[in-house]
Structure 1
Amino acid sequence: MISLTSPVKTRAHHWPAGLKLAGLCLASTGLFLTGSMVVHVTALLLVLALYAAPGTAFFRAGMCGMRVVVPFVLILLVWHGVTGDWQSGVLITLRMVTLIGLANLVTMTTGLEDLVEVLQHLTAPLGRLGLPVHLLDTAIPLVIRFTPVIVERAGTLAEAWRARSCRRPGWRLILPLTLQALDDADHVGEALRARGGPLGSPQQEP
């Protein structure tokens, strides 16, 4: 899941988060069970239609969030082109883009609080067994929240590199981006501890 909740309100914003996540699971299962190119192309077109339905602003925001998928698409296509298996490469790429697009739609139209509430209901049985599900309840929203932040940091580093060099940055951005991500993680961890966040054992009810 790439984007945060979209400020452009749609009908999907009022749908239950559990219903949207269940639909995402069913769509994922269905696409993995079929190898039909027609089905995958149709599914991708339907996803694009869902992005376009709320208007231009929503469509642009969604496509902007999907830019992070482009490098993976290129890697998959090049690899399958080298191995001579174009059909499988296109099929896998269509499936990946479609499912990421659907997941992106879910996060664009669902608040983090709603997603966490669904997660808590799903993991409640595991909590009764003594498993530390409170850590999962904290980790998943943080991943959703900081994914676009890291993407934005990568863009900023790339712009800074281009301002000082004519060469493409490429792999040279990996180290500073990793250090920034680790630094952010350290600050977030300290902030959670300072506020009594769920990094240790679950907090007891008063």
Structure 2
Amino acid sequence: MLSLYRPGTGVLHRLTAGPKMLLLAAAAIGLSALPTAAWTAAVCAVAVFSAYVIPGVGVRTLGREMWGLRWVLAVTALGQLMFLGPEPALANTARVAAALLVAALLPLTTRVDDLLDALEKGLRPLRRIGMDADRAAVLLAVTITTVPVLARLAAEVRDAQRARGVRPSLRAALVPFVVLSLRHADQLGEALAARGVR
């Protein structure tokens, strides 16, 4: 299975998957719950910077993740600015960015196998109500790891177009993006079949 995991020796890399999921979820929810005030942007910036630098994930990785979110943040900021004004736009965009960047730490610091095992253990009590915990864990793990992979594929298509001197456009990028996405889906299917998932 394709993964965004980056090897490291920091605190987040050493933390087991289950507690790490809970910690990052609590951090994302806490940052999202900050009030709509200008100082919220500063708190979010310091929190996210610390979350990437202190555990050793790195500023370069943070920059890459922020660059991948640029359109989401631009649309969020523009919509908020038009309807709510500058201060709420700044605070709300900062909260969205912080929550997404903190959530991105999970696939960056956790191997897919460890993530699957933790999800299977966490969902095991739901078997009592007839839920297949193994399939649910695979579905969640695939979702967590696939969304950033697709964002990276879209960035690769744009970079390839720029390298060829083609002006980036949605129409020109659609076909190569679909082809790369289908190739990723095939690889993902093969990896799941090798794991015994049908």
Q: Deviations over 1:62-118 (max 9, x none)?
A: 321332111111111122233353333222211111111211223322222322222
Alpha-carbon distance between aligned partners in 2 of 1:171 and 1:63, rounded to the nearest angstrom: 27
Aligned residue in 2 for 1:203: none
In 2, are the aligned partners of 1:80 and 1:89 still within 8 Å (CA)?
yes
State the shift of 1:171 in Å: 4.7
Q: Which amino acid aligns with 2:196?
A: G
Aligned residue in 1 for 2:48: 47
Partner-residue secondary structure (3-state), 1:71: helix
Alpha-carbon distance between aligned partners in 2 of 1:161 and 1:71, rounded to the nearest angstrom: 18
Q: Deviations over 1:1-59 (max 9, x none)?
A: xx82222321222223222222223223333433243245213212202322355x722
Compute the TM-score of the two structures, normalised by the length of structure 2.
0.80
Alpha-carbon distance between aligned partners in 2 of 1:25 and 1:161, rounded to the nearest angstrom: 36
State the shift of 1:152 in Å: 3.5
Using the TM superposition, name which of 104-113 and 145-154 deviates more: 145-154
In 2, are the aligned partners of 1:6 and 1:58 still within 8 Å (CA)?
no
- How large is the RMSD of aligned CA atoms in angstroms? 2.7
Q: Which has the larger radius of gyration?
A: 1
State the shift of 1:123 in Å: 1.1
Alpha-carbon distance between aligned partners in 1 of 2:188 and 2:51, rounded to the nearest angstrom: 35
Structure 2 unaligned segments of length 5 or more: list them.
Answer: none
Structure 1 unaligned segments of length 5 or more: list them.
Answer: 200-206
Partner-residue secondary structure (3-state), 1:151: helix
Q: Percent identity over the alignment? A: 25
Matched, 1:72 2:72: yes
State the shift of 1:138 in Å: 1.6
Partner-residue secondary structure (3-state), 2:196: coil
In 2, are the aligned partners of 1:8 and 1:58 still within 8 Å (CA)?
no
Mapping for residues 110-121 of structure 1, pairs under 5 Å: 110-121=110-121
Alpha-carbon distance between aligned partners in 2 of 1:50 and 1:184, rounded to the nearest angstrom: 30
Q: Which amino acid aligns with 1:50?
A: A
In 1, are the aligned partners of 2:40 and 2:95 still within 8 Å (CA)?
no
Closer, same or farther: CA 88–146 of 1 in aligned 2, 3 Å: same
State the shift of 1:127 in Å: 2.1
Alpha-carbon distance between aligned partners in 2 of 1:191 and 1:115, rounded to the nearest angstrom: 15
Aligned residue in 1 for 2:184: 184
Paired residues, number: 195
